[in-house]
Chain A
Amino acid sequence: MEAFVTHTGTAAPLRRSNVDTDQIIPAEYLKRITRHGFEDGLFSSWRKDSDFVLNRSEYQGVSILVAGPDFGTGSSREHAVWALQDFGFKVVISSRYADIFRGNSGKGGLLTAVVDQSLVEQIWELIEADPATPVTVDLEAREVRVGDLVAPFEVDDYVRWRLMAGLDDIGITLQYADEISAFEATRPSYKPTTK
């Protein structure tokens, strides 16, 4: 996984709450067995509308999505994270995320910054007033900077450390294989098996 320390890019305002993962990528795109190439499915229903923010010329090439509260609710599909990344997003900013989506983002290297809704509103206004405004997301300092605005964000310490180091979870856990075996030896005989 690529390490993430700081990122600067342009940002798109998505003025919607409860953006569920069925909207991020509908189920019809989930039949693929590959890990990449999901950008065509991202917000596919909304993108049919030429006025949708990601279709507008001034928001082409954006890498930061600034969304309303409760982003990523619903299905556990990690394809939602892959679709955002394949489209070019490195960061999502919202005041609240669904737990599974947030976990999936951390695994895949997509930063989900938790920013107060009042500051999200200010960021929306700035990037709507000037879509070319550079937005910097600094994971080390835990802040989003847009022009003169400095918005602190929350991120889990452990996830931050992993993202900054670009570490793979499975590799970390496999260092503890002996402890896993020791635990297994204590499991009671009444626990079921699938065989």
Chain B
Amino acid sequence: MGRTLAEKVWEAHVVRQAEGEPDLLYIDLHLVHEVTSPQAFDGLRSAGRPVRRPDLTLATEDHNTPTIDIDKPIADPISRAQLEALRANCAEFGVPIYSLGNPEQGIVHVVGPQLGLTQPGMTVVCGDSHTSTHGAFGALAFGIGTSEVEHVLATQTLPLKPFKTMAITVEGELPVGVTAKDVTLAIIAKIGTGGGQGYVLEYRGSAIRGLSMEGRMTLCNMSIEAGARAGMVAPDETTFEYLKGRDHAPTGADWDAAVEWWSTLPSDADAVYDAEVFLDAATLSPFVTWGTNPGQGLPLSGNVPSPADAVDEVDRVAIEGALAYMDLTPGMPLRDIKVDTVFVGSCTNGRIEDLRAVADVLKGRKVAPSVRMLVVPGSVRVKKQAEAEGLNVIISEAGAEWREAGCSMCLAMNPDKLKPGERSASTSNRNFEGRQGPGGRTHLVSPAVAAATAVTGHLAAPADLASAS
């Protein structure tokens, strides 16, 4: 029987296998940030253990970092202490680090791929659930907890039970205006926030093959919101093209050997998945969330649902709770939802193509006076490239704030937060209660929908702007 992409990558990393025990899997790349690592380094220190492979480990600062005045000391003493702890730990254990102010600093899941560190067939882990992003390269990449961070630092391995595999096939051509973000929100709405639990998702089909690497990263990034620890796309020419020439990509004979192996990784034609899901690309449209988990989403053309639509009692309680928290009325058109904040950025949608999509919509237009819009590049590199292309000028002239790189308003750990009762359209990944700040309300959207929403002041797609003018 043939093997799937995920099974091939798994089998290439098994250090030890024994009956009744988890497999011991080798980890090729361990990314580290300030929030989930201090207690892990502490554990090593108290046990007198070194970091086994600092040369396969890379740290960056992202969650706590401010996105303005980064040349000044960080105002919040607790955030500052956490960043200082990471710097001291990296110095003590010999781990390379890109600190605030370094030209390679940025969100951990933007930094790895842009440096060419994330490659097909690798195992990649990080103490962050959005590590699934790196699966876009055909890597097996997943988030881990702090105990596992310590385990990887000490041993460069993890004991793991094999995942099940789920094929998510999207065939056809995506309609104009439909992006990877809309595809992932539609998938999560279809299979639910628990639908992927225990699975590695493999995204397949002509619509997926047609996505750029950045689109594939957006798609894989949100796999965790469907409950899956990892999402993957088989490596192809698009992948190789993206990697070639990047700082850490192989060169010369190594490149040829790598491409030869990478080309063997796609799932065999007779591979069998534990579950399969199909979507018709032609039926998809811009998608937004109305509730408080990423599965509570609908096409932008839809209406806010009613508790009466619930499939069972648990669902009814969930819809009621979400409507109350979000302060929405059943039956209201989603396009009528007014926002006061628009956030573009995060490991989901903070890359150059996302910023280009936003600038395309904002060009020659103004952000509505009632809306505050933040545009936050995912890394210093992305910021510099956007500035070289003049995107920052378009974005600033439209009235949006152009910021420094970081996680920003995705998660309320730095100064960028929603105030209680504020409502945002956000390109990030989670619309949980209070995620963007206590009492804040979040609608997840694509970059293009975010920009159109900023212009109109209510949830909107770029096509709505064209028809209005």
Contacts and interface: CB of A to CB of B under 8 A. Distances in A.
A31 to B, nearest CB: 4
Interface in A139-179: 156-158, 169-170, 172-174, 176-177, 179
B209 interface: no
Given A180-B15, A180-B155, A18 B193 contact: yes
B194 interface: yes
Interface residues of B, number: 85
Interface stretch (A50-58, A95-103, A128-136): A95-103
Contacts of B127: 76, 78
In this complex, the member of B76, B144, B145, B150 whose beta carbon has the largest number of chain A beta carbons within 10 angstroms is: B145
A176 B290 CA distance: 49
Contacts of B156: 180, 184
B56 interface: yes
A22 B26 contact: no
B21 A158 contact: yes
A70 B129 contact: no
Contacts, number: 205
B233 to A, nearest CB: 19
B411 A27 contact: yes
A20 interface: yes
Interface residues of A, number: 61
A7 B408 CA distance: 42
A108 B430 CA distance: 26
Given A103-B148, A192-B119, A33 B193 contact: no
Contact of B28 (A69, A107, A191): A191
B364 interface: no
B293 A18 contact: yes
Contacts of A41: none
A122 interface: no
Interface of A: 15-18, 20, 22-23, 26-28, 30-35, 45, 68-70, 73-79, 81, 96-100, 103-104, 107-108, 117, 156-158, 169-170, 172-174, 176-177, 179-180, 183-184, 187-195
Given A157-B20, A170-B151, A194-B29, 10 more contacts: A16-B317, A16-B321, A20-B293, A23-B433, A34-B39, A76-B127, A107-B147, A169-B159, A173-B154, A194-B54
28 contacts: A15-B317, A16-B321, A17-B314, A18-B193, A22-B432, A23-B433, A27-B63, A31-B79, A32-B78, A32-B82, A68-B317, A69-B314, A74-B129, A76-B36, A76-B128, A99-B198, A100-B129, A104-B146, A158-B22, A170-B47, A170-B151, A180-B157, A183-B15, A184-B156, A187-B26, A190-B255, A194-B54, A194-B58
Give 5 nearest A-B pairs by CB, closest first: A107-B147, A104-B145, A33-B38, A78-B145, A190-B250
